[in-house]
Amino acid sequence: MCEAPRLGYRAAGAGDADAADVDVVTTGGRRRIPAHSSVLASASPVLGSILERRLQKDRESGKPGRSVVRIRGVTDDAAAAFVRLLYAGRCGDGGEEEEEDDAMEKHAVQVLVLAHAYQVPWLKRACEGAIGARLTADSVVDVLQLADLCDAPRLHLRCTRLLAKEFAAVERTEAWRFLQENDPWQELHVLQRLHEADMRRRKWRRKRAEQRVYVELSEAMDCLDHICTEGCTEVGPARRAPAPAPCARYATCRGLQLLIRHFSQCHRKSCARCQRMWQLLRLHSALCDRPDRCNTPLCMRFKQKEQEKVAAKAGDDDDKWGLLVKKVKAARVFSSLANRKQTSTSTQC
């Protein structure tokens, strides 16, 4: 269920002086927390190593009483909460869940430092979630530095997202002004990470837009093949004649039929619509695998031209065209796989 022992803090006898064999001493020795060496060692490899050396030293010296493990650098309440959470594990037992949640809410920052220092990954993730849930524009700068020091990637990501989303509000905080005045290198580092995150987001959006274009071109190729092979005639022969029923297979079928009709009737050399149709026909010829019996106009003509260009060693423009053809081919493969998966799922249902 979890790496830490699921024993409750009281159920394990942590408060029983006779059952415990270790005292966890807080900063300055002001508080002693009785605990079990087996529980602490199983929860943290660092504590296990410390306890092994301490118990061996106490046995060699013949020192009576319980061994001592010191937890320093945090408040007494935070150290006690850390030990209690090690006993309880990720999933509190019974009525102790409320106490654990309260301890996590009050001491999450200090417990995160201890979980990082003593290598308790499950508790570290829990602290990251607790701190990230209460993240605000006022605290994000301090929490970001804490995430860097404690190697907390999930918390670091949440801080970066909040900074990118509410940077105008963060710039007005006292923490950001303090960072500008006392640590300009850290400020520069934060700004660089925000810039990199923004560039990654723009690159992802650009790729998504490009992929949509390739998918649309792939659908246009299927629709063109549907029109020329199956003879779909959604567009009527005359303006006043009643149009047939809309095509049920492709939403763009009517628009492509209109483009084909315009292409067959237009005689202008610089017509943008005709140039678009030329490009679609050329792309079809590059993807067509049935040259002998293809019903699409100009398919054989474009294939002959492409063969002549290949023989003449085409230049950069043809390299770009070849890349476009590869991208559209990949989009067609992915679309066919997705359609096949949807069909099989609907058949099973």
Range of the domain at 296: 206-238+248-333
Is the distance from CB of 158 to CB of 130 less than 8 angstroms? no
Same domain, 172 and 222: no
Residue 16 lies in a domain: no
Residue 36's CATH number: 3.30.710.10
Residue 345 lies in a domain: no
Same domain, 130 and 275: no
Is the distance from CB of 120 to CB of 4 less than 8 angstroms? yes
Question: Residue 39 burial by CB count (10 A; 0-12/13-18/19+): exposed, middle or buried?
Answer: buried
Q: Which residues contact 55 (CB under 8 A, 6 or more apart)?
A: 37, 67
Over its C-alpha atoms, the chain yields an Rg (Å, rounded) of 34
Structure tokens at 164: 């990118």
For residue 210, the model assigns a pLDDT of 87
**Beta bridge partner(s), residue 33:** 24
Residue 8 lies in a domain: no
Total structural domains within the chain: 2
For residue 8, the model assigns a pLDDT of 42
Residues of the chain with pLDDT under 50: 1-15, 17, 90-95, 238, 240-241
Same domain, 56 and 194: yes
Q: Regarding beta strands 67-70 and 22-25, do their DSSP bridges make them parallel or antiparallel, or are they unpaired?
A: parallel
pLDDT tens-digit series, residues 272-323: 888 888 888 888 888 888 767 788 888 888 888 877 776 666 555 567 778 8
Nearest to 8 by CA among 94, 112, 128, 98: 94
pLDDT tens-digit series, residues 198-229: 888 899 899 888 888 888 888 888 888 888 88
> Torsion angle of alpha carbons 277, 280, 285, 291, nearest 10°?
-60
For residue 249, the model assigns a pLDDT of 80
Residue 17 lies in a domain: no
**Beta bridge partner(s), residue 67:** 22
